[in-house]
Amino acid sequence: MGVPFASLVLEIPQRGLKTMSEKTNTEAAFNSIGKVSDMADNFAHAARLPLPAEMHASQLRRGMEQIRDALRMIYRDHLGENPWDE
């Protein structure tokens, strides 16, 4: 199945970056993770808005699906694997 993304991230400082493409891929992955973090933060702030509970619940479900999809895409793009389609 390959190396989990978290393990790969923890290894980077130890093994160093050898090629520009490897560095670019790693930076792209970290940038993508930062964007997903911003998405989660936006949903957390939106949950404080005075809206009906049903609207909050539906938006939270939608947001969690977007975050899940974004994290899976980062995993697939960075490791070239898709364990969710197995």
Report which residue type is found at 15.
Answer: R
Per residue in 21-42, pLDDT (tens digit) is: 656 777 888 888 999 999 899 8
Spell out the residues 6+ positions from residue 12 whose beta carbon is closer than 8 angstroms to its own.
Answer: 26
Per residue in 47-77, pLDDT (tens digit) is: 888 989 898 888 888 889 999 999 998 888 8
| CA separation for the pair 4, 9 (Å, rounded) | 9
pTM of the model: 0.64
- HSE at residue 82, side-chain half, CA atoms within 13 A, is 7
Residue 86 above 60 pLDDT? yes
